[in-house]
Amino acid sequence: MDTNFHEKSYSRHQQSYRVEAEQPAANYRNWFLSDNADFWRHRRKLQFIDPLLEKNKGKSWLCIGDGRFGTSSMYIDWKGGSATATDITGTLLKKSLEEQLIQRMDVQNAEAITYADDSFDYVFCKEAYHHFPRPFIGMYEMLRVSRNAVVLIEPRDIALSPLPLTWYRQLKNMVKRALKRPVYDLDYYNYEEVGNYVYSVAEREFEKLALGLNLPAVAFRTFDDVYFPGVEQERATSEFPLFRKIQRELKRLRLLRLIGLHSSNYLVVVVFKQQPDEELVRELEKNDYRVRKLPRNPHC
């Protein structure tokens, strides 16, 4: 067994960002165009942390894996937080810092964070956890350096869907095979070119993690996201066919979810280190979060 595979993954992730940084500026400028369809997708995901941001103005946030120019940190700063953007390489973050799009940045490996315990009020990781070669280590590190909570936004593990959905998916794949159409099991056995397994997440694994650490509460919210190649070049208006396609697909998934034939493909996770107050719980629940207050270990 190769016990150093994670080191190779770190190196390949760093190199991929260096290559991207060498591309013409026009290739990454679309990340900041507010009328861009892909910008619309990412802003839509970030809005799910608004209940935490609005209740905690001025609090410090460490953004892990924010290497795509620090877009999560930009959003948190814009909403009144104080964010530090980090990634395994600072290549693209430096561009944002030079343009004053972010206020603070640092180079950090999520699986070996150098900050002291309880250094930040919140730690936020958006769509980076599934890239970690050793995500459990990363999660423990993020919990270590946070005071209040760790927040993740990640692809959801469809392999743990209820049985009717699993049967429906298996039947659909059987029909596809009969028609000689491609069948993708990306959420089951998917590896990225940079060397890591794509680690989708599920509610129960974080609930168990919190119980094992004697933490007070967790909160979850599900939603759907849709991506089609080319959205980076289209505007988020009904005049553009690809954006209309995104909207149609989201409506289709919502309908399938309502009739029990689809389970949302994204998950927002909040693992609390401090008991959330009742006002925050109400605000989270108003925004479709399921807040679970956990029993405390009676033997500790």
CATH of the domain at 162: 3.40.50.150
In a domain? residue 298: no
In a domain? residue 53: yes
Q: How far apart are the first and last CA of the chain?
A: 38
In a domain? residue 300: no
Q: How many separate domains does the chain show? A: 1
In a domain? residue 135: yes
Alpha-carbon distance of 131 to 138, in angstroms, equals: 11
Q: How confident is the model at residue 76 (pLDDT cuts 50, 70, 90)?
A: very high
Q: Which domain holds residue 51?
A: 5-293
In a domain? residue 299: no
DSSP SS3 for 89: coil
Residue of 111, 285, 262, 281 whose CA lies nearest to 199: 111
Q: What digits encode the pLDDT tens for the residues 118-175?
A: 999 999 999 999 999 999 999 999 999 999 999 999 999 877 666 566 666 677 778 8
Alpha-carbon distance of 29 to 17, in angstroms, equals: 15
Per-residue confidence (pLDDT) for residue 192, from 0 to 100:
78
Q: Is 139 left (phi over 0), alpha (psi -120 to 50) or beta?
A: alpha
| pTM exceeding the 0.85 threshold for the entire prediction | yes
Q: What digits encode the pLDDT tens for the residues 92-111?
A: 899 889 889 999 999 999 99
